Amino acid sequence: MKVGMILDNEFTGDLRVENEAVALQKAGNQVYLLCLNFGGKKNYEEFNGVKIFRVPISKVLKDKLKGLNNTLLNFYPLFWAKHIKKFIEKNKIEILHVHDLWMLEGALKANKNFNLPIVADLHENFVQALEHYKYANVFPGKFVISKKRWAKKEIEWLNKVDKIITVIEEAVERYVKLGIPRKKIFVVPNYVNLQSFEISEFDKNILEKYSGFFTLVYTGGFDSHRGLETVIKAAPLLKGKIENLKIVLVGSGSNFDSLKNLSAKLKVDDVVVFEGWQPVEKLPSFIEAAEVGVIPHLKTVHTDNTIPHKLFQYMLLQKPVIASDCNPLKRILRETDAGTIFESGNEQKLTEKILELYQKPELRKVMGRKGEKAVREKYNWNKAAENLISLYKNFGKSTEQK
């Protein structure tokens, strides 16, 4: 099968897209990927057999067009429809695999003349995420972006596509309640890829930098729903009780500056380290340098229906996990005994959990071993990819029958 993936990014560092594209390629499909080029990338290249086509556009313009998506100034789907049509024609695409909800309108417009099967790959509960994304809640987005309109469009578009992929079991029930037939929905979780995440040698500079400290690590995006404010507010409560404490925040996002300001205001900037965005290949070293992995996401409808890669990355590297009580995080940590749960947004409860693990090094080791075992046996990409490959095999059978 000729699979045409559509991605609203450059295809750099997106582990989910990379894992899926390579898995489908290895399963005997030819994968073509249409994405963007903000400058400095090749407009065409190959990655593990996947053929990548990039459309040049400035990131500033792209962000503005995306922000105006599904508003009165709805030009972004037209931009994508034009390029998707050419992409389909040039490569004789047989299936469209569209990453993220907001990309579906452009794909549906482009597909009118082709009538190809469409797979909607939903990385998150985007409609609920808009409640927390900064651009949708400040001027001018607050006044031009209609969350009710997005909720209606989500149902409309998902009823038009052929299959839906979601990242966690909890999200299936949400889509069924929206009226989406259960048989259309496949779960392909964000489990860690053992082959690509395990590295032969850690970065010695990173390990040495945090040697001798009791280090907590967070890796990932910085947005209000990630709950990083809770971690920083816990720092003053911990400083007098853990003398060698370091809280290492690896990543960037919309509230990066406000988090740094909060750290300075609370006088914990000697404890809280902002490492900024880091290449994917550096992440294992930051995790290895830590004693504990933290996932402080605020409990919302959004975070109750998604799961972050970092959970399984922490577990694989034998780091006990302290996570907030979002449903998927709670379920998996209770099932595996690989960590502990605190009440979302409660820095006092987070402090108690951190102190408990600080005072119990043997418990940290036990949780770490259990986490690694669970990942190697169940929560790894080889297992997750089985549903994805099964979905495409069924498409192949349908095509042969025609």
**Per-residue model confidence as pLDDT tens digits over 356-374:** 999 999 999 999 999 999 9
Are 373 and 397 in a shared domain?
Answer: no
| SS3 label, residue 55 | strand
Are 30 and 166 in a shared domain?
Answer: yes
∠57-60-61 over CA atoms, to 5°? 55
User: Which long-range CB contacts under 8 A does 9-15 form with residues at least 24 apart?
Assistant: 9/35, 9/36, 10/35, 10/36, 10/37, 10/38, 10/41, 10/54, 11/35, 11/47, 11/52, 11/54, 12/41, 13/279, 13/280, 15/190, 15/193, 15/196, 15/280, 15/309
Q: Which residues of 346-371 are buried (b: 16+ CB within 10 A; e: fewer)?
A: bbebbbebbeebbeeeeebeebbebb
Are 205 and 165 in a shared domain?
Answer: no
How far apart (Å, rounded) are the C-alpha atoms in residues 176 and 170?
Answer: 11
**CB of 116 within 8 A of CB of 94?**
yes
In the predicted structure, residue 59 carries a pLDDT above the cut 70: yes
Q: What is the pLDDT of residues 158-216, one digit of tens each?
A: 999 999 999 999 999 999 999 999 999 999 999 999 998 999 899 999 999 999 999 99
Are 25 and 90 in a shared domain?
Answer: yes
Strands 50-56 and 44-47: antiparallel
**CB of 77 within 8 A of CB of 69?**
yes
How far apart (Å, rounded) are the C-alpha atoms in residues 27 and 342?
Answer: 41
Confidence of residue 154 (pLDDT cuts 50, 70, 90): very high
Are 252 and 369 in a shared domain?
Answer: yes
The average pLDDT across 217-244 equals 95
In the predicted structure, residue 400 carries a pLDDT above the cut 70: no
Task: Give me the numbers of helices (H) and strands (E) for the chain, helices first please.
Answer: 18, 14
How far apart (Å, rounded) are the C-alpha atoms in residues 57 and 366?
Answer: 49
In the predicted structure, residue 402 carries a pLDDT above the cut 80: no
Cα R_g (the chain), whole angstroms? 22
Record the pTM: 0.89
Q: Name the token pair of 210.
A: 């945090």
In terms of residue numbers, what domain contains 157? 2-191+381-401
Are 168 and 286 in a shared domain?
Answer: no
In the predicted structure, residue 141 carries a pLDDT above the cut 50: yes
Are 137 and 164 in a shared domain?
Answer: yes
- How many independent structural domains does the chain possess? 2
How far apart (Å, rounded) are the C-alpha atoms in residues 100 and 65?
Answer: 15
Are 315 and 393 in a shared domain?
Answer: no
| SS3 label, residue 330 | helix
Are 229 and 357 in a shared domain?
Answer: yes
Q: Name the token pair of 58.
A: 């400035």
Are 11 and 145 in a shared domain?
Answer: yes
Q: 395 — phi, psi (to 5°)?
A: -60, -40
The pLDDT of residue 397 is 58
The average pLDDT across 214-239 equals 96
Q: What is the pLDDT of residues 300-327, one digit of tens each?
A: 998 999 999 999 999 999 999 999 999 9
Q: What is the pLDDT of residues 78-103, one digit of tens each?
A: 999 999 999 999 999 999 999 999 99
CATH code at 173? 3.40.50.2000
| SS3 label, residue 250 | strand
The pLDDT of residue 313 is 97
| SS3 label, residue 183 | helix
Are 130 and 184 in a shared domain?
Answer: yes
In the predicted structure, residue 110 carries a pLDDT above the cut 90: yes
CB contact set of 205 (below 8 Å; sequence gap of 6+): none
How far apart (Å, rounded) are the C-alpha atoms in residues 215 and 389?
Answer: 39
**CB of 249 within 8 A of CB of 294?**
no
Biggest CA pair distance of the chain: 70
Q: 342 — phi, psi (to 5°)?
A: -125, 165
Q: Name the token pair of 149.
A: 């309109």
Are 7 and 156 in a shared domain?
Answer: yes
CB contact set of 246 (below 8 Å; sequence gap of 6+): 210, 213, 214, 215, 216, 271, 273
